[in-house]
Structure 1
Amino acid sequence: MTSLSVLPLLWRSRAPLTVLLLITAAGIAYLPFDGPGQPMPYSPLVALFTVAAQAGLWQRRVTVVIGLPLVAVAVAFRTNTAREYLFAFFLFGMVYVLGVLARTRQAYTEAVELRAAELEKARQAEVERAAERERARIAREMHDVLSHAVSLMIVQAEAGPLVVRSDPDRAEAAFDAIAGAGRDAMVQLRRMLGVLKEEPGPAARTPQPTLAGLEDLVADVRRTGLAVTLTAKGTPQPLAADAQVTVYRVVQEALTNVLKHADATLVSVRLAWAPGRLTVEVENDGEGATLPSAVAGSGRGLIGIRERAAAHGGTATAGPGPEGRGYRVAVELPVVISSPAEVGS
């Protein structure tokens, strides 16, 4: 009989209360017989633990309501001593509590695993958002680099044939400018592609443009025949490296737009330093303001300027210049330094 009471334990995980009732019934049926007994009812205890650890709420309640009286009946039928009653009730309660603790631990483990899964999903989503932001940044960089270089090459290429006979030196300078703009664009594209491929090497280590590079940028545009001035007022302040890149790209994009869209003869680039602020203005005397894309701000370049400024907590405006003449792009940035290592020249 004792051996048979162990067999239902094979199904205790599927039907814990049913298995406990079967084992209990087998034990009660064995009580009238005068045979060798066990010092401890292992099978019922295992089944009781399973009910406390895995069964539903109503099954656990049924187990407590029915189990305690049955324990009392079994003790009364055997020894009917206070010591046996105390031991039996203590054993019942201890096994039940252990089952509840196992159930609680399992629930805690599942909650931790669920939280870990949610955190992993959140991390993956953040990685995807970061990748999207990086793609947008690279798209802006490639647009700025290619647009500026191609605009310079187009202007010089159109001017070269016109002066190739009348002014060979000027024609040669125009072709040299075309070659220089192409080489500069290739160097910067290799750098960006090197970063995308995560390949170490000179391309990945090429420095980003800084405020010091504005002089060379303006000089490149001057070679197209356009009069460009660069002025600065106020006391320069240390500017974070990423903000310097933004200033450079803003000026580059504004000059590119002048070459592409404005019939201008004079362009002024102005940097105005104030406590905690830097204002960058690029103003021309051409007719760029009459272009629909410029007025509406639907051009990708102007959108990129606004996005770059907003990324640093700044603002960008674009529209007709004073008295409606020419076109003016203005960007205002807060001067914020994240760390000393980010301070550029």
Structure 2
Amino acid sequence: MPEPPLVTVLRRRARALPPLLVDGALALLITGAQLWPLLTTRQADGLPWDWWGYAVAVTASAPLVWRRRAPLTTLMVSLVVSLSYDLADHVAEQPVWYGTLVGYYTVAALSPRRTRMLLLGCTAVGMLFLPGSADTALRSSMLLVAAYATGRAAAGSRAHAAALEERAARLERERELEAERAAERERARIARDMHDILAHAVSLMVVQAEAGPVAVRKDPARAEAAFDAIAGAGRDAMEQIRRMLGVLKEQEAPRAPQPTIDDLPGLAAQVSAAGPEVTFAVTGEPRPVPAGCAVAAYRIVQEALTNIVKHAGATRAGVRLTWEDDSLMIDVMDDGHGGGRALPSGGHGLIGIRERAAACGGTATAGPRQDAPGFRVSARLPLS
């Protein structure tokens, strides 16, 4: 059952007070309780009680100011002094020695196990020699045991609260670390997308720009188509980058859908119009795939075609999708001279292909073709 809000507020404010101030107020309160029988009663002849009683009542309670710094010493002083109370003949009867009980509570709550066990043993032996009746010894024993048990319960409660606070702090640190890791993953994803978009667009623009001067002299219509392709590639890259940067801003930005597998035929046609002839083929029955894997499939093909345009010197290239029972197989091949490097030792583009496949739980390989001249990029993405 949760405690009332007022109790929670008071508990929090009490914990914020300096310990020495709290213990000083406690010692003053206990001193007043011990002096109360002496101040409110008189001897039978009307005379005040012996000064010794007042001195013992004060001395047995005052050490509580230092109870947290020296629990056992505080208890011993309070206990020895209170036992000397009956040395004087004319003193009032003290019902309970509250300072000794608080001392027992403090030792039980703050002292190590060995000290506590020694205290319990000495208490058991001391009760056998305690002056007074058996009823007095029994009542004293019960009070001391109750104070000790209360102290152990308080210690357990504090340990539990400390464990909860530590766990909460650990969870908070883990949450912050996970947020940092998520941010790093997001930055890496954005960097890969920026690389894929810019590398693809710039490669197509460079190919068309290099062919433009020759086409202007021999085939003006072809030159015009090349310039249109350059402008189209630039506009497409700018639009994709604008959408990507828009999601990084604090204000809402238009969220156009990411490219997916359905956009691959258009990608192949775009590259074919600007560079080598690219064919697109599909084998098997297409099925829905997770959104992240659909984007990864598009980016893998885009990066592979970009590498063909930039490095392969190929005249023909092919993209083939093979839908299997539990996975999608992607193959991008060309008839060029190849890069001579295989995953994972390739450049940033090939490494990005591997990372995109791995992010979906798949695999990717790249290297020279075995059946014919050229280069081949293959990726397998799980459908589940």
TM-score, scaled to structure 2: 0.81
In the alignment, is residue 220 of structure 1 matched against residue 270 of structure 2?
yes
CA distance in 1, matches of 2:276, 2:294: 24
CA distance in 1, matches of 2:292, 2:222: 37
CA distance in 2, matches of 1:225, 1:283: 14
CA distance in 1, matches of 2:250, 2:221: 43
Tell me the residue number matched to 1:263: 313
Q: Which amino acid aligns with 1:267?
A: A
Q: How many percent of aligned residue pairs carry the same amino acid?
A: 51
* Secondary structure, aligned partner of 2:84: helix
- The Cα of 1:73 is off from its aligned counterpart by 4.0
CA distance in 2, matches of 1:115, 1:331: 43
8 Å contact 2:343–2:351 — kept in the other structure? Answer: no
Tell me the residue number matched to 1:99: 151
Q: Which amino acid aligns with 1:197?
A: K
* Secondary structure, aligned partner of 1:281: strand
CA distance in 2, matches of 1:87, 1:225: 101
- Paired residues for 1:167-186 under 5 Å: 167-186=219-238
Unaligned runs of 5+ in 1: 337-345
In the alignment, is residue 39 of structure 1 matched against residue 95 of structure 2?
yes
- Paired residues for 1:223-238 under 5 Å: 223-238=273-288
Unaligned runs of 5+ in 2: 1-54
* Secondary structure, aligned partner of 1:124: helix
Larger Rg: 2
Greater mean deviation of Cα atoms: 103-112 or 193-202: 193-202
Q: Render the CA deviation track for 1:100-149: whole Å, top value 9, x for unaligned.
A: 11111112222222222222222222222222222221221111111101
- Paired residues for 1:6-45 under 5 Å: 6-34=61-89, 35-45=91-101
Q: Which amino acid aligns with 1:18?
A: T
CA distance in 1, matches of 2:136, 2:345: 90
Q: 1:19 to 1:296 in 2, by over 3 A?
A: closer
8 Å contact 2:340–2:368 — kept in the other structure? Answer: no
Greater mean deviation of Cα atoms: 124-133 or 230-239: 124-133
CA distance in 1, matches of 2:86, 2:66: 24
8 Å contact 2:322–2:328 — kept in the other structure? Answer: yes
Q: Which amino acid aligns with 2:191?
A: A
Q: Say which structure, 1 or 2, has more relative contact order (CA 8 Å, 6+ apart).
A: 1
8 Å contact 2:364–2:380 — kept in the other structure? Answer: yes
In the alignment, is residue 325 of structure 1 matched against residue 377 of structure 2?
no
TM-score, scaled to structure 1: 0.89
Tell me the residue number matched to 1:301: 349
Q: Render the CA deviation track for 1:160-200: whole Å, top value 9, x for unaligned.
A: 12212332222122112111111111121122222233432
Tell me the residue number matched to 1:113: 165
CA distance in 2, matches of 1:37, 1:18: 26
CA distance in 2, matches of 1:292, 1:273: 29
* Secondary structure, aligned partner of 1:99: helix
Q: 1:231 to 1:63 in 2, by over 3 A?
A: same
* Secondary structure, aligned partner of 1:325: coil
Q: 1:25 to 1:280 in 2, by over 3 A?
A: same
- Residue in structure 1 matching 2:134, options 76, 82, 89: 82
* Number of equivalenced pairs: 328
* Secondary structure, aligned partner of 2:94: coil
Q: Which amino acid aligns with 2:85?
A: Y
Q: Which amino acid aligns with 1:188?
A: Q
